[in-house]
Structure formats: structure tokens, C-alpha cells
Chain A
Amino acid sequence: MEYAQLVTDDRIRVAILGSGNIGIDLCERLLVDDDFEIVALAGRRPDSLGLQRFVDRIPVIATDGISGLLPHFDSFDGVFDATSSFDHPGHWDITREHGKWIIDLTPSGMGRPMVPCLADRVDAMHLGLSVEPENLSMISCGGQSSAPMLYAITRGVSGISEVEVSVSVPSLSVGPASRRNVDHYVEATQELAAQVTGCPNAKAMLVLNPADPPVMMRTTVFVEAESIDLDAIRIACAEMITEVQKSVPGYDLAVEPYCPRAGLVSVTSRVIGAGYYLPPYAGNLDIINSAAVESARILGHHRLYKEVRT
């Protein structure tokens, strides 16, 4: 299938599905980003705070989910899906039919995994030259925050036998869809950990912290390996932190790399949110939405590149 004709200038024109915490934060972020233009926002409930919030700022506000986007598919390049992993498969069918890319912010795990800072470093994330529309999966906030640390650790170990990711996020930032999705979150996060480290023996865990005032998101990774060079890992971690901070300024180490015992290395990162919608404690929204925006930017440039080539 051919990509639809580029509709307009260099701006990437997008539609957003989902008006929950993630969708709202994403809209706020894209509205102040010169590379993007939001054409439409679709939710399910006319009275939802998310939809009302953008009535004067986004041209099309649809209240009947993806159906509301159908008349407008010619006017955008791709879709951000911020609904739930149960709804994503249907959304992807429709966007693919229309030749549009989709950025999946749910943990459906259907599409190509994408962690922007690792796009050129991890095989599974390489964008091909196929003209088929892309489905890029953001996996989960825990996936986005653990992958750079896991990748950094792979720079200083050999013979990895097991990897583990445990994520704690403030309860206040986790909406109902994400709660029903919890198994998909765990499964997609551990699959990403396996892809980044090349070790199929991966485990992920998610815990919600109810403290109020909220405790910022923390992500702890463990890697068990035959040999561990802690100095190399420290250097690689620092490099990855700098890399991630370009788009997520609040990303940092909470606990430096250390070995809890011989043959095991652990790092903990934390994210202070940029505060587009929820307050800075919601770093989990920040890291997945930054990833989505950067992925769309990559896709935008990649698509232009492909069209020049073909």
C-alpha cells in the first residue's frame, strides 16, 4: 500500500485517539511543538474533561472514538493511540487500511517496539524501507525507562543469563484503562527487556505507589551475567542518561550501578515529569509521551526519506 500523499507543509499532521491522562498530556505537548499539528482528538465520552479541555484548541473533537476520525483521514499523516491495549488492534486495522502510521501508547505489543534513543542501536527497532505503514509500539512507561539502562548494562557485561525490570509508578497517574491492561503492560515490558538485552529470560513487574504527595516513578533493572565490568557500565549509563535527557530532561539515576552480589548488577532510574498536564510526579507520562513524540518525528523524517527514494 502506498503512503497517502503528503498533505501539507513540513509539519507532521496527526490525530489523537484517547482523552485520558496520556492523551491529554500528549495534546499539551504536541500543541507547543512546531513540528506537529493536531488535526483531531477523539474520545468516547462527550463530557470527558479531556475533550472539553481542547474544544477551542484542536479543530476536530470527536466523541465517538475512531469512527469520528473516519471523515478526516485524508487530512493527517498518522495517529497516536492512547486508548487501551484491548482497543488497539481494531484501531490499527483502520489506520493501516487508510495507509497511515500509528504510534501505539498502549502495551498491546503489536507493533515494532521503539525506544527513540535506541532506534539505531537495537535490531528490532530498525525501520525498514517497506512502504507499508508503520505501527510503532511505545510498549510502556517502564519499558521506556528501563530500556536505556538495560542497553547501557549490555555494554559492560558478557554472558547474560537473566534480566529483570521492576517499575513503581504513582497510583494517581494510572487511569482505569492502564489498570485493566496490567498483564499486557507486564508482558510487553518483559518482551522489550528481552529484545534490548538479547536474553529471552526476562521478567517485568509493576507496582503502584499510593503515597500522597506522590513518589516519583522508579525503575530498577537487574542483569545477571557471567562477567561484569562495573566501570564500563557506569560510563555507558552516564551516556544513555545524557541521550535520554535530550527529550526527557527529568530522567536520571536514583541509584548508581552496583553489584548486589557477584554476577548481578542493578541500576535504578527515576523520572521527574515535565508537567505538561499532570504535576511533575507523573514522570511515567512524560517518558512514554516523549518517546511517542520522538518516534513520530523519526517516522516523519523516515517517511520523507522513503518517498524521495521510491
Chain B
Amino acid sequence: MTVYYDVTLRDGNHALHQQLSESFVRKYCAMADTSGVWAVEVGHGNGLGTSSFLAGKSAYSDESLLAAARESLREAKLAVHAIPGFATINRDLRPAVELGVEVFRIATHVSEASMAQTHMEYLAQENVTVHGVLMMSHMIDMTGLLAQAVLMKAYGGSAIILMDSAGRFEPKDVRDRVEMVHQEVGLEVGFHAHNNLGLAVANAHAASDAGASIVDGAAMGLGAGAGNAQLESVVATDHSDSHPDLRQVLGLSRLVESEFPGNLPRTTASSIESGLAGVFSGYAPQVMEVSAEFGLDPADLWRALGEHKIVAAQESMIREIAITLRMR
């Protein structure tokens, strides 16, 4: 059985330039709660503790957004994304546990699972669900991926979530990876798609066909770059008998569509360039801005970022690389 993990109020915050409001969180959560989605993830686009000049300032604190969600969720679980190096146990995780967050996704770049040990071991002792998340999972070979997933299991994760943060995968890539992790690690597997190449919905289905029991999606695909798998499309084409209520999920889609008409993500020439370059989708606003400032073709900048193997949270490299390109 596949459950749906709704990232609209977290990944979608990228598309909203981190301006997500308490009042929208309340409105959305009240509707999502009865829709049958398993969990609703809330916060800054990069997760707990990442509101910053570097990655964008949140309009509302993590605490206020989570409190608003907590009040509105009864059936669906409240979830957060947290990256060690940004979120700390004392400042972010412990307060979130106390506030009643039920699912913690501890995320690292795909080759750096050991950064998650302290955080996952701490959470595993609390009465919460802990998922280990491997971001930018296209940047490692299969053997490496398996080794990192095994580490996260050892730290106390109850599921391994593979994120296609750059929207680089095609369905076959997803199937191979999900199948391997599912069979070899012996934990639940989740998949988080991005739509850079227009394949997010197909990839979400490929994941669940290959054994993923947690599928990430966002209403209207609201998410970084070209957005995530569109939740309502995946649900509409889920032919099992246990999917969320389509009518209610379409209600979420309409809510997002009417509330944020100027922020809806789509697959564009630029998102295809970034997908092919394998660069974190969340960089799209900076890449467009810096390309304009330095008179560069965004395609060249995406390619250069890909060549430097830039990972998430290296916004400052965009400017530096642009300066180098201009000097050529």
C-alpha cells in the first residue's frame, strides 16, 4: 500500500520565495487533513532552521508555521524536513518534538549520510517517526547509494527517501534504485520527484510500482524549480483502492491554483537545462537573476554549476562561477 506525503507547504515554499503564511498553512491543513494524505510537511523550502540571507528569509518562523499546522491536523501527520549543518538538535529538532511534530525527515546530500547520525539517533529515542533522506540521489552510483541507505538504517531510520532533487531521473532510473534499496535494505522506501524534465508524475508511479510505499507530491506540483510530482495527477492515476479522496485532493489543487497564480511551477527550457546538468532545482531564481546581472546565457551557467558538482545550499558559488564565466 502506498501512502502520500504532501510537501506543498515545504517544497512549495521555494516557489513562494519562502513567503508561506500562517493563515494559508491553517487553510491548507484543514482541507488536507481529511483528504487521506498520510502526512503534511511544513516549513522553509530547505527545512527547519534554514531561513537565512543565503537561502531566503521565511516570512514566518518555523515555530509559527508548525504551530498553525499542528492546530489544524488531526488525521494527517505533521512532518518536517531537516538538514544537519543547518538544523540543530537544540535550536530546531527538540522544540519541534515538543510542538508535536510526528515525522522527521533527516536529509543529507546522497554521499554524506554520516552527517545525519547524531540527529537521527537523537530522534530515534523520541516517540517520533524518523526517515532518512538522500538528496540529489542522481549524483552517486548504485553501490554507493545502497551503502548510504544502509547507514541511515543503522542510525534508526524507519524509511529511506530518495530525492531526485535536480529532476534528473527517467522512470527506469527510479525503478532500478527504488527496487534495489527496497530489497537490500529492508525498510520502507519513499520517492520525491522533481519535474524538470516533465517526468515527475511518471517517476512517482515508477517508484510505487517498484516497491516505494511513500510517494511525495505537491498540490499543483508547488515546489522548487519545475516543481514536484503533481499530487492530484498521481492520485487520479493511482488504480489501487487505497488512495486519498480525489475530490478533496482536487480541492487542494484548486486552492493552490487560485491563491498563487503567479507562483505555479512548470517545466521550462531552463528547468530542462538544469535537469540535464543535474543541478539542484531550488537555484532557479538565483541562476536567472545572476545570469541577467552578468549578461550570461542561463544554459551556460547551469552547465558550469553542474560541472562544479554544486550541491544544495551553495548559493554563493553561483555568483562566483558567474564571475569566472564572464571573465572567459
Which A residues are closer than 8 A to B by beta carbons?
A: 162, 164, 166, 168, 171, 176, 179-180, 182-183, 186-187, 203, 205-212, 215, 218, 220, 222, 224, 254-255, 260, 264, 266, 268
Contact = CB atoms under 8 A, between A and B. Distances in A.
B319 interface: yes
Contact of A222 (B54, B115, B309, B320): B54
B117 A180 contact: yes
Most buried by A among B90, B91, B109, B316: B316
Interface string B280-319: 0000000000000000000000000000111111101101
Nearest to B109: A210
A208 B115 contact: yes
Nearest to A166: B54
Contacts of B115: 179, 182, 208
Contact of A208 (B52, B112, B308): B112
A266 B52 CA distance: 13
B316 A166 contact: yes
Given A182-B85, A215-B317, A218-B314, 5 more contacts: A166-B313, A171-B112, A186-B88, A205-B313, A268-B319
Contacts of B85: 182, 186, 205-208
Interface string B84-108: 1110111100000000000000000
A268 B88 contact: no
Nearest to A184: B88
25 contacts: A164-B52, A166-B52, A168-B314, A168-B317, A179-B117, A180-B117, A182-B115, A182-B118, A183-B84, A183-B89, A183-B119, A205-B50, A205-B85, A207-B311, A207-B312, A208-B311, A210-B112, A212-B309, A215-B309, A218-B320, A220-B316, A222-B53, A222-B54, A268-B319, A268-B320
A220 B316 CA distance: 7
B13 to A, nearest CB: 17
Nearest to B91: A187
Most buried by B among A171, A207, A215, A254: A207
A182 B53 CA distance: 21
B263 interface: no
A255 B323 contact: yes
B53 A209 contact: no
Contacts of B112: 171, 179, 208, 210
Contacts of A224: 53
Nearest to B83: A207
Contacts of B317: 168, 215, 218
B125 to A, nearest CB: 16
A82 to B, nearest CB: 19
Interface of B: 50, 52-54, 84-86, 88-91, 109, 111-112, 114-115, 117-119, 139, 308-314, 316-317, 319-320, 323
Contacts of A218: 314, 316-317, 320
A209 B114 contact: no
Contacts of B310: 209, 211
A296 B324 CA distance: 38
Judged by DSSP, the binding face of A is: strand
Contacts of B320: 218, 254-255, 268
A180 B109 contact: no
A212 B319 CA distance: 21
B46 to A, nearest CB: 10
Contacts of B118: 180, 182-183
Most buried by B among A176, A210, A222, A224: A210
Contact of A205 (B52, B89, B90, B109): B52
Nearest to B317: A218
Contacts of B52: 164, 166, 203, 205, 222
A210 B311 contact: yes
A3 to B, nearest CB: 36
Nearest to B324: A254
B233 to A, nearest CB: 33
Nearest to B92: A183
Contacts of A183: 84, 88-90, 118-119
B132 to A, nearest CB: 14
Nearest to A181: B118
B310 to A, nearest CB: 8
Nearest to A213: B309
Contact of B313 (A182, A207, A260, A266): A207
A186 B313 CA distance: 15
A215 B323 CA distance: 16
Most buried by B among A162, A183, A211: A183
B86 to A, nearest CB: 5
A164 B57 CA distance: 12
A273 B3 CA distance: 48
A210 B54 contact: no
Contacts of A162: 53
Given A176-B114, A183-B90, A210-B111, A215 B308 contact: yes
A88 B29 CA distance: 45
B95 to A, nearest CB: 14
A183 B119 CA distance: 9
Contacts of B89: 183
A168 B315 CA distance: 10
A255 B319 contact: yes
